[in-house]
Amino acid sequence: MSSIIAANKKHLVPTSGTYPTGFKVTGIHCGIKKKKGIKDLALIISDRPCTAASVFTTNVFKAAPVLISREILEKRSGQNIYGLITNSGCANAVTGVKGIENAKKMSDEVSKLVGVESSTLVMSTGVIGQHIPIEKIVQGINSAYQKVTEGTHEGWMEAAEAFMTTDTFPKLRSDRFILPSGLSYNMAGITKGAGMIHPNMATLLATIVTDAPISAPLLNEALKYAVDRSFNSISIDGDTSTNDTFAIFANGAATNDQGKIINDVKGQDYLQFRDDLTNFAADLAKLVVKDGEGATKFVTIHVKGAPTFSDAKKVASTISTSALVKTALFGQDANWGRILCAVGYSGVPSIIPNKVSVSFIPTDGSAPLKLLVFGEPENVDEERALEILKQEDLEISVDLGIGNEEAKMWTCDFSYDYIKINAEYRS
């Protein structure tokens, strides 16, 4: 295990995994980051063509890698994609024509090595407004191509480390799933991020690869469904990055039977795959929040009793981005008025004040603490509230009482260290 992993985060880092067939990966140091040996270039390639889909940042200042990757996916209609090249340490964002040229060079170099033109997506993360050292990266791509391995936990860990910027641990997950038809398949995912996180799509950087056989249109549908319930449901500081990208690749290596390809949007295999992807992506997204810059708490905002999923999501998102709520959580202050205030200005017009209830839900299995019931304040036990707020994980439950839909957001608190980390980011 790498020495760069923070001691209090090691329990979040897997020591083994189950990885999809046909994908080769590695992570190396190519010289973008100043400190020698710190990985800054990750390569993932498939030994056969993939269907692929991606969602990108809504920030107007889209980084060069976002533009190039989107162009490649559109050109190929989400088919015959072979690889992903990712660098950390420099975002290649707001870098003009040269930035676009450099992102294309990264893609072209990998595509040349795999022997298929325009078949590689690109991701970059780091400081905005600086050009990437393209010569070092091209050289690094060739070195990484010689080093890639299939199915090894070490290779996947190296790639995950190469995604990191202010992260305190590499974020990697893998798992095996079984579809209703009996087909077994695998997923592996890497994400990165600790700050500048409030996806709309947006995720920071994340990629999931699978050996499941699924058509490009349905992979895209599954991704859109999953992202709204995973990476678009996390917030650390309310900022949406210029580079945010979530890409998924499916190479179909789990079977040679063409009849097993998932291509029916109403079929049981598709619905199960969609739900597997959603849960897997949510687990990855939670790792980002658990690594929030300076964060001391992982907080689930659960809004239920809403007329629509969209309404529930809007209320949860508003609470999760409230600086007043987040600072109260850090201060272990049961100031539920700040939560209610955020509910009130969320922009959901159907909210009825005397229908709303708010509670703290501890994750240790002990009894919830009711704060507001049908618009009426409870006589809150402050000592019990402090017990709950001292815990690293907790849930804030808001029941709007006007419907049957629900949504969750995952967020963290704001601490003194968040300001320190971001004040010193470029130093």
95 assigned to a ligand binding site: no
Residue 195, SS3 per DSSP: coil
The DSSP 8-state label assigned to residue 128 in this structure reads T
Establish whether 255 is a catalytic residue: no
- The residue from 21, 26, 120, 203 that is catalytic is 203
Contact status, residue 205 vs residue 191, Cβ threshold 8 Å:
yes
256 assigned to a ligand binding site: no
- Between CA 184 and CA 156 the distance in angstroms is 21
80 assigned to a ligand binding site: no
Q: Give the CA angle between residues 355, 403, 271 to the nearest 5°.
A: 150
Nearest residue to 203 (alpha-carbon basis) of 156, 158, 242: 242
Rg of the chain over Cα atoms, rounded to whole angstroms, equals: 22
Strands 149-150 and 23-28, by their bridges, are: antiparallel
Contact status, residue 372 vs residue 423, Cβ threshold 8 Å:
no
Contact status, residue 391 vs residue 399, Cβ threshold 8 Å:
no
Look-up of token digits 């790498």: 2
- Between CA 168 and CA 171 the distance in angstroms is 9
φ and ψ at 407, to 5 degrees?
-155, 155
Contact status, residue 53 vs residue 214, Cβ threshold 8 Å:
no
Contact status, residue 221 vs residue 261, Cβ threshold 8 Å:
no
Contact status, residue 400 vs residue 303, Cβ threshold 8 Å:
yes
165 assigned to a ligand binding site: yes
- Between CA 257 and CA 233 the distance in angstroms is 36
422 assigned to a ligand binding site: yes
- Between CA 7 and CA 1 the distance in angstroms is 11
Contact status, residue 66 vs residue 58, Cβ threshold 8 Å:
no
The DSSP 8-state label assigned to residue 247 in this structure reads E
Number of H-type helices and E-type strands within the chain: 11, 16
Nearest residue to 318 (alpha-carbon basis) of 344, 296, 336, 293: 344
192 assigned to a ligand binding site: yes
- Between CA 389 and CA 266 the distance in angstroms is 43
Nearest residue to 293 (alpha-carbon basis) of 204, 389, 409, 166: 166
Binding residues for substrate: 165, 192, 203, 293, 422, 427
Looking at the annotation, which residues are catalytic? Answer: 203
